[in-house]
Amino acid sequence: MITRTSALLQRPETPSADVTPLTLQSAWQTQLSRAIRDPRELCRRLGLDDAWLPGAERGHTLFEVRVPEAFLARMRHGDPHDPLLRQVLPLATEDESIPGYVTDPLAEAEHTPGPGLIHKYAGRVLLIASPACAVNCRYCFRRHFPYGDNSPSRNQWERSLETLRDDPSIHEAILSGGDPLAASDRQLGWLVERLEAIPHLKRLRLHTRLPVVIPDRIDEALLGWLGTTRLQRVVVLHVNHAQEIDGAVIDACARLKRAGVTLLNQSVLLRGVNDSVEALAELSERLFEADVLPYYLHVLDPVAGAAHFDVPDEEARELVAGLRGVLPGFLMPRLVREVPGEASKTPL
């Protein structure tokens, strides 16, 4: 649904090729532009003690706060340990330098044949469709990613598309980011039209957190291009805790399902968020209620500023063994790590 809103409204960040007129903004874009970006406001809105403020402000200077209202609404007021808040609240410790925690843990800079394109895995190419995210997750391995260099213009897109066209071994295009759904439907529609014209391409995959943090993102305009392409569609959501899945998320998933999309989920194993058999089991159960199958459970990438989320490998294996004891096989995520230079994710 496109709504006319005041030209004074601030636009969300969009890729440079985007030319959506200022006066036309979808409901989700308005929500995105109004996301909380001030650490003080985040603390105040959740009724946190002043003791959390200096850390939040310090962390914010390293990687800015961004939390949409729809996500904030699922957090418990007055609880600094809320599992959703913990994912987005900057802490003073982000600033500590810890051996082994680096700015580009996946060494992606080495696998970039063109701007916005990452080709590490056989048959699949990852395209950075938008440098922006709707939410800034503190544990993100891309918190230091040089997005400035990876926000392609349309001419650069044409060159990336040529790389795909020239390589018949590529069957799947993965739109990633940032969050690919932070780009406008106009831009995404344009891109998907180009992609579906490549005969050897079979699948379109999107890795996105937007349907979770702003469920209104799954609107008619999106279903217009996603629901009609000849490509088989897979959407990999990113949910870490059952509490993230409310009625609006379930409805958004139902809309995607009706449009013929296969829904999967990837999570990151995070200390203080989902590091128990109960939390992981509840997450899988809740995902299935939303018609989503668990896909990956990633161990944390050792990115500078995120060490407080670390769960050691031994503990991760024990958690997954415990999970196997309580869940049906089809609700078991695969425990994996991303190892720089490997041609697939590495099972633990």
Residues that bind ligand PLP (CB under 6 A): 118, 120-121, 124, 126, 174, 344-345
Mask: binding to ligand SF4, 78-117, rule CB under 6 A, as x and -? Answer: ----------------------------------------
Report residue 270: phi and psi, to 5°: -130, 125
- CB 9: neighbour CB atoms within 10 A? 14
Q: Which option in ligand PLP, ligand SF4, none does residue 46 bind, with CB closer than 5 to 8 A by kind?
A: none
> Toward ligand SF4, which CB reaches closer, 194 or 238?
238
Residue 74 corresponds to which tokens in the numbers above?
């699922």
The residue range among 98-106, 107-115, 128-136, 160-168 that interacts with ligand SF4, by the rule CB under 6 A, is: 128-136
Which amino acid would we find at residue 91?
L
- Please, what is the Cα angle at 300 between 215 and 344, to 5 degrees? 90
Q: Which does 124 bind (CB under 5 to 8 A by kind): ligand SF4, ligand PLP, none?
A: ligand PLP
Q: Which range, of 4-12, 131-139, 152-160, 240-248, touches ligand SF4 by CB under 6 A?
A: 131-139
Compute the least distance from the CB of residue 293 to ligand SF4, in Å.
19
Closest-CA residue to 131 (of 143, 139, 114, 121): 143
The neighbouring-strand residues paired with 297 are 267, 335
Among 133, 181, 273, 319, binds ligand SF4 (CB under 6 A): 133
Q: CA distances (Å), 168 to each of 2, 162, 189, 233, in order?
A: 38, 11, 23, 19
CB 195 within 8 A of CB 231: yes
Site for ligand SF4 in 306-345 (CB under 6 A): none
CB 197 within 8 Å of CB 231: no
Q: Which is nearer to ligand PLP, 118 or 133 (CB)?
A: 118
Q: Residue 48's binding partner, choosing from ligand SF4, ligand PLP, none, with beta-carbon cut-off 5 to 8 A by kind?
A: none
Element (H, E) at 193: helix 185-196
Minimum distance from residue 58 beta carbon to ligand SF4 (Å): 19
Interface contacts to ligand SF4, rule CB under 6 A: 133, 135-137, 140, 142, 177-179, 209, 238
